[in-house]
Amino acid sequence: PVAIQREDYAPPAYWIDTVDLCFDLDPAKTRVLNRMKMRRNPEVAAQPLRLDGDELNLARVLVNGQGAAFRMEGSQLVIDGLPDDFELEIFTTCCPAKNTKLMGLFVSQNTFFTQCEAEGFRRITYFLDRPDVMASYIVTLRADKAAYPVLLSNGNLVEEGELPEGRHFAKWVDPFKKPAYLFALVAGKLVAREQRIKARNGREHLLQVYVRAGDLDKTEHAMNSLIHSVLWDEARFGLPLDLDRFMIVATSDFNMGAMENKGLNIFNTKYVLASQATATDADYANIESVVGHEYFHNWSGDRVTCRDWFQLSLKEGLTVFRDQEFSMDLCAEPSARAVKRIEDVRVLRTAQFPEDAGPMAHPVRPDSYIEISNFYTVTIYEKGAEVVRMMQTLVGREGFARGMTLYFERHDGQAVTCDDFAQAIADANPDSELARRLPQFKRWYSQAGTPRLAATGHYDAEARTYTLAFSQSCPPTPGQSVKEPFVIPVALGLLGADGRALPLQLEGAAQPAGESLTLVLHEAEQRFTFTGVDEAPVPSILRGFSAPVVLQFDYTREQLLALLAHDTDPFNRWEAAQRLALGAALAAIGDDTRAPDAPVLDEALIAAMREVLRHPTLDAAFKELVLSLPSEVYIAEQLDVVDPQRVHRVREAMRTQLATALFAEWQQAYEDNKDTGAYRPEPVSAGRRALAGMALANLCIAARESGDTVWPGKTLQRFKDASNMTDRFNALTALVVAGHPLAAQALARFHAMFKDEALVIDKWFGLQASAPDRDGDVLPLVKQLTRHADFSIKNPNRARSVIFSYCNANPGAFHRLDAAGYVWWSDRVIELDEINPQVAARLARALDRWSKLAEPYRSAAREAIARVAARPGLSKDTLEVVSRALA
């Protein structure tokens, strides 16, 4: 397969003005009549028309109504000698029932769905399948009326009616031009929750959430989230809903989380359906953010889209930033905003930082790809969002809103680049640090890798000054050996010994800065001196995680304990606890003489954790985050050579130690937080449920150590009596994580209770596949789970619940001395690749970090990857991933 290069971008040789599509929907053979009005792009040298296609059966090609000469070049349909303006008619058929890739037109539970981003439309008809070709669509759907009573496409329904032989039709017109990747259709037996709303500007809209009949009672939260989204985008950015009708449709077979097709969002059921009996607080929060995300794409993605797929972060980074801000703005309490920020950073550091250090590392705006589906990554999404967040930090919240307004004024209806976005934000804020350093700031788009920011502090008691010296560097990444300095906003404050915030007077600055300020670094090395500092301060650096970097500062334990006790910045307060626990873990992992049951955490740290757990005013959600130990993946990232079993043992030892040492506090925390009243999925009571759940897990672990049977018994009772899924699942998890014999009984009961709830059964599978390993017991269990009657590898959610939970989320069980986990992984990648290459390629990334592993893991992992790579007929999706891993 050939790599596509960003530098090779050329405008299209033809434009498509209108597309008139007519579908005769049939699972075995769907007929697609595509009539396009096209014209030559006068700005490009004359050349043949090349249309993309994939797995289509071509029946007819007419140019201006006449049979036309064409040829096939690979999968492209090529036509020579076309006039400047013409009508092209193409008639093809395809087989949705056999479409297990879930790209293009496919069938799920007797319902037709489409997924066209990034390159699925070419599986529906021959087309200029590239985002800079934007056309007006008219779509007619015809199908059997009894089997497919609901017929949906983008835009407005303009006509519907009966056809002979029990068939019917519906005609949809999208008032907006769009690229093909935003096309969608749905046909099947569905019902809708409907809501009419009036936007702030007075315009009325019909909102609909379509699901299968039995699921209607689980759509209230998605609808509320949609209403909040509409109101928020108008209030915060002045961006109104531009359609009379906005639809969301849920399907249980979907590669992604959801898709922002214009006016007709298609969602994985996981991000739509929720009831208190079946969904956890985390599910509710995810639904809110994904509904928001897809809705916000209506502007950042649909009205203004990407010129080419290298610009993917233009819409994804921006839209993740927008959904993060949305979720924060919906928090009634400032503390809940901080919790959300910590959670987002945790995702970035545990998923994106490893990606940025591994074989798939790529810039936020990549330079090349073989298969674009492989670049829907945490780098494009989460790091891209951090880049947008830094822009907001540099120009201020209001300045950023002005920049957004200018961006949409300039580019509405266009397909543009990341440069265009950054330029608009800078131009709207000409006096900002962003405008002053724009070319350098844009290195965040072009350079991959996570920058290291090393800082040292020096206090001069006589001069009463404190000097912070920074130096930045960025490790090499594939294809980029040398990096230039980044623009790095560093928010910081200084604390006195008693925890008070010290006033900040920067040398050379006209005015004191208050208790927090943002330095803007742009050179490889820079120093800043604060004057009038009366005591040696504790610096709180990178507050709110103001830049996506690794901060290296040689904090003493005393300084970290002070930050944990007193920092007014909740992020750095949490971070102090993480650094303390991480330091203890790394010391234990590096100690070759360590006895297996030796303690990992020292008394001072345990006392500090106790302090937090008992704290009278700290939020439960925040306590839960502070008491969460760094994950095995995060710990492993800090090591040059990783012995996954050692990491696993040390982390388990830390967990056991916290459970037993804080036994009394866990009991108290459970008692204080176990009753949260009538269920409401909002952050404050969710935080209390999370802390109660964490307490139960710890009490069960402590009980395992002491032989106590009271807490496991209480946990089982809690599991049985729970009035919501969060409490029930937390109790089940506590028993499973502790490895208690009662877990088996609870799991069986859970399955019986929810056997008809697919999303709950996913949880049941996922919990077992991600359970802590004891003597290699998880792999045999996982193999057994894949033979369970409810398992199907063809359903992405189910495949992820078992296979990904084991391979990606359970390092202690996956990395086995006998390499059996790797062998099983390679078999599953190969099996999935024939069914669904996108899902296979995701799974293929489970061993991205193989070169860091200690022997014998390292050689065994490499061998397993090579085994996949050697498989004949591999999809280019999976081939790209394993080739990069072996490069």
Binding site for Zn ion (CB under 5 A): 316, 319
Nearer to Zn ion by Cβ, of 256 and 519: the residue is 256
Residue type for position 822:
Y
Nearest distance, CB of residue 376 and ligand DPP, angstroms:
6
Q: Is 41 exposed, middle or buried (0-12, 13-18, 19+ CB in 10 A)?
A: middle
Nearer to ligand DPP by Cβ, of 573 and 845: the residue is 845
**Cβ pair 267, 298 in contact under 8 A:** no
Nearest distance, CB of residue 488 and Zn ion, angstroms:
26
**Cβ pair 365, 310 in contact under 8 A:** yes
Nearest distance, CB of residue 389 and Zn ion, angstroms:
16
**Cβ pair 316, 381 in contact under 8 A:** yes
Nearest distance, CB of residue 704 and Zn ion, angstroms:
43
Q: Which does 256 bind (CB under 5 to 8 A by kind): ligand DPP, Zn ion, none?
A: ligand DPP
SS3 content of the chain, % helix, strand, coil (to 5): 45, 20, 35
**Cβ pair 605, 580 in contact under 8 A:** yes
Residues forming beta bridges with residue 4, ordered by sequence position? 369
Which whole-number Å values give the CA distances from 95 to 55, 115, 185, in the listed order? 9, 15, 15
**Tokens matching residue 403:** 């920049």
Nearest distance, CB of residue 260 and ligand DPP, angstroms:
5
Q: Is 3 exposed, middle or buried (0-12, 13-18, 19+ CB in 10 A)?
A: exposed
Nearest distance, CB of residue 247 and Zn ion, angstroms:
17
Q: Which does 773 bind (CB under 5 to 8 A by kind): ligand DPP, Zn ion, none?
A: none
Separation of alpha carbons 219 and 284, rounded Å: 11
Q: Scanning the structure block, which residue is given the tokens 């300020």? A: 517
Nearest distance, CB of residue 512 and ligand DPP, angstroms:
43
Query: CB within 8 A of 634, min separation 6: which ones?
Result: 349, 350, 582
Nearer to ligand DPP by Cβ, of 309 and 806: the residue is 309
Q: Which does 685 bind (CB under 5 to 8 A by kind): ligand DPP, Zn ion, none?
A: none
Nearer to Zn ion by Cβ, of 286 and 529: the residue is 286
Q: Which residue is nearest to ligand DPP (CB)?
A: 259
Nearer to ligand DPP by Cβ, of 289 and 810: the residue is 289
Residues that bind ligand DPP (CB under 6 A): 117, 256, 258-260, 293-294, 297, 316
Nearest distance, CB of residue 164 and ligand DPP, angstroms:
38
Residue burial 226-240, b: 16+ Cβ < 10 Å; e: rest: bbbbbebbbeebebb
Q: Which does 117 bind (CB under 5 to 8 A by kind): Zn ion, ligand DPP, none?
A: ligand DPP
Nearer to ligand DPP by Cβ, of 262 and 815: the residue is 262
Q: What's the 3-state SS for 640-687?
A: CCECHHHHHHHHHHHHHHHHHHCHHHHHHHHHHHCCCCCCCCCHHHHH
Separation of alpha carbons 310 and 365, rounded Å: 6
Annotation marks residue 294 as catalytic = yes
Separation of alpha carbons 199 and 202, rounded Å: 5
Length of the chain: 887
DSSP state string for 778-814: HHHHHHHHTTSTT--TTSHHHHIIIIIHHHHH-HHHH
Alpha helices in 131-280 (DSSP H): 220-237
Separation of alpha carbons 605 and 752, rounded Å: 43
The catalytic position among 117, 119, 288, 294 is: 294
Peptide bond into 118 cis (omega under 30): yes
Q: Which does 819 bind (CB under 5 to 8 A by kind): Zn ion, ligand DPP, none?
A: none
Nearer to ligand DPP by Cβ, of 323 and 652: the residue is 323
Q: Which does 233 bind (CB under 5 to 8 A by kind): Zn ion, ligand DPP, none?
A: none
Separation of alpha carbons 338 and 529, rounded Å: 29
Residue 507 CB neighbours (<10 A): 12
* Strand blocks (E) in 260-404: 264-268, 305-306, 368-369
User: Phi and psi at residue 478, in whole multiples of 5°?
Assistant: -50, 125
Q: Is the dihedral of CA 831, 833, 838, 844 positive or negative?
A: positive
Can you state the angle between helices 710-721 and 725-738, rounded to 10 degrees?
150
Residue among 244, 249, 233, 161 nearest 203 (CA): 244
Q: Scanning the structure block, which residue is given the tokens 């093809």? A: 92
Nearer to ligand DPP by Cβ, of 114 and 429: the residue is 114
Which whole-number Å values give the CA distances from 319 to 292, 323, 367, 387, 421, in the listed order? 9, 6, 21, 12, 13
**Cβ pair 214, 208 in contact under 8 A:** no
Separation of alpha carbons 363 and 100, rounded Å: 31
Nearest distance, CB of residue 298 and Zn ion, angstroms:
11
Q: Scanning the structure block, which residue is given the tokens 């010290």? A: 502
Nearest distance, CB of residue 115 and ligand DPP, angstroms:
8
Nearer to Zn ion by Cβ, of 78 and 256: the residue is 256
Catalytically active residues are 294
